[in-house]
Amino acid sequence: MKRFAGWTCALAAALFLSCSDDDVKGSLAFDTPAVFFADGDTAPVTVHFTASNLNSFSVSSTPTGWDGIVLDPVACTVTVTPPDSFDDDEAKTGSIVLSGKGGGGATGSASLFVGVVEQKEFSERANSYIVNQKETNYLLDVEHRSDGATLATVSVELIWQNPSSLIQYLSLKNGKASFYVGADSDDDTKIKSGNAVIGAYDAAGKLLWSWHIWVADYDPSVAGNQKIFNGYTMMDRNLGARAAGNDSTDDILASYGLYYQWGRKDPFIGPSTYNFASGSAATLYNGSNTSITATPAASSSSNGTMEYAQLNPYIFITGVEDSDYDWLWSDHSATLWTAPGSTKSLYDPCPAGWRVAPAAAFEGLTPDAESLGWENTKYSVTLEKEGVSSLFMGAGRRTYLDGKFQNVYVAGYDPKGTRADEAQPWIGLYWTADAQTSDNLSSALYFRYGSSEEVQNAYALRRSTGLPVRCVKSE
């Protein structure tokens, strides 16, 4: 953390003095967005800042109790020493604000987040990670893929997040992505939940790999958060879900989780409303908390490839007739996700120790009598077997033709162009890890509202369809 480059600041001030005062603007930035200390740390940390057209600096704001802040305007550094202890009215986290002034009315400011917080480092490699502890600094190895292959990472970026401000103070530190997740603004006893995708980039700005960050008040290792069907230990909620219930429309929407094209490791956001009223997706935000959009791309020889999918994890690749409605144009594969009894695949989207559920995990599941009587506004059904039950969401699909959301029963796998706002009754579809034996199709769990007989664990669907996923413990 200690980086001294005093000439940078002094040179900026000298250059400013030789310029005219016309349209002068100042800029000020710290080299890192945050400094985190463990409980009991007393060693100071020095952070460098850069300035342009500014020649007078001051620390204009600090968190209550953080008195050990030393500004060196010549070296362009701020040294932070954490408090030895905290009184009730003192803050363990907060922002140091550095202000600068220059001639011609130029001003600038920069914020440095500081905190005495718990730090958690992910020790196992995977394509997704569960974050379930609020006000914590997380560290993720971004110099290796999930299979251990080395990546020439020089920077990290937030590709997308939902909601905004979910992942904070993202930076690259010693080969690891460092970020912070805070508390829910409506209930500070809970973590702020949502989903994000973080990317690792090389010196040329090329995306090397990406990871899904699943932020939720959920620990799948707890026995009460698991269900055992057909010998498989299964998570009790969808991958990426922020809840597992249907008591309210908010619960229903939060329980849908994320959607996946079969064989891809990166997720797609769910619908904007619980009832799919517009067929549109929820809003995505970048690292600057600006809303972003991603237009689907039709599969072709250039973008229907694994390389294109890895470089563009946010692009939904729609199927076309010439690709057999697979998102892959020609290199079709039945083993992109983990087959039963095999090593976890490179593209499996589940967290460490978990993999996409095979069709066998859903064999013989039937709706319980009570859930068959639910009104269609519940958008879910309880499936059970041998005294074990779990809530499954009628979360429909993102169609393989255009990536839009559809939640309607249609015989066969073709969406027939049905509008999402006519989508009654709803259907439930979940990808399994299994591929069909012909026509480049894969197997899905299938059920629909009001039917006790139409639960299938190996329903054939086009691979470019986007569906929710359930994870089971790796064998």
**CATH numbers and ranges of domains, the chain:** 6-116 (2.60.40.10), 118-215 (2.60.40), 225-473 (no CATH)
What is the average per-residue pLDDT within 393-407?
Answer: 92
CA dist., res. 34 & res. 171, Å (int): 9
Q: Report pLDDT for 233.
A: 98
Dihedral through CA 228, CA 232, CA 238, CA 244, nearest 10? 10
Least reliable range by pLDDT among 195-209, 264-278, 298-312:
264-278
Q: What is the pLDDT of residue 278?
A: 75
Predicted pLDDT at 343: 83
pLDDT digits (tens, 9 = 90+) for 17-40: 333 344 568 999 999 999 999 999
- Look at 312 and 451; give whichever has higher pLDDT: 312
Region 403-432: mean pLDDT is: 65
Mean pLDDT along residues 282-292: 98
Lowest-pLDDT range of 286-300, 335-349, 356-370, 428-442: 335-349
In the three-class reduction of DSSP (H, G, I as helix; E, B as strand; rest coil), residue 98 is classed as strand
The pLDDT value recorded for residue 453 is 66
Residue 6 pLDDT greater than 70, yes or no? no
pLDDT at position 10: 43
Burial class (CB in 10 A: 0-12, 13-18, 19+), 271: buried
Residue 268 has pLDDT above 90, yes or no: yes
Residue 102: the pLDDT is 94
Lowest-confidence range among 88-97, 195-204, 366-375, 455-464?
366-375
Whether residue 313 has pLDDT greater than 50: yes
Dihedral (C-alpha) 401, 402, 407, 410: value to the nearest 10 degrees?
Answer: -20
Mean pLDDT (the chain, rounded): 90
Q: Measured between alpha carbons, how far is 101 from 232 in angstroms, rounded to an integer? A: 63
Mean pLDDT of 215-234: 98
The rounded distance, in Å, linking the Cα atoms of 48 and 32 is 8
Around 323, how many Cα atoms within 13 Å sit in the side-chain half-sphere?
26
pLDDT beyond 90 at 422: no
Question: For 123-132, 153-162, 411-420, 443-452, which range has the lowest pLDDT when averaged over its residues?
Answer: 411-420
Stretch 197-216: mean pLDDT, rounded? Answer: 99
> What's residue 413's pLDDT?
43
- The dihedral sign for the CA sequence 406, 408, 413, 416: negative
Residues 6+ apart with CB under 8 A from 171: 32, 33, 34, 156, 177, 178, 179
The token duo for 43 is 């060693």
* Averaged pLDDT for residues 439-444: 97
Q: What are phi and psi of 421, to 5 degrees?
A: -80, 0
pLDDT of residue 302: 97
Residue 89: what pLDDT?
73
What confidence score (pLDDT) does residue 427 get? 87
The continuous run of DSSP H or E covering 236 comes out as none
Measure the CA–CA gap between 102 and 425, rounded to whole angstroms: 65
Measured between its terminal Cα atoms, the distance across the chain in Å is 42
Report the pLDDT value the prediction gives residue 147, as an integer from 0 to 100: 94
Helices (H), 124-206: none
Backbone angles phi, psi at 178, to 5 degrees: -110, 130
Polymer length in residues for the chain = 475
Residue 451 clears pLDDT 80, i.e. is over it? no
Q: How large is the average pLDDT for residues 362-387? A: 85
The predicted pLDDT at position 88 comes to 82
| Cβ burial, residue 206 (10 Å; 0-12/13-18/19+) | exposed
Closest CA to 474 of 74, 146, 164, 186: 146
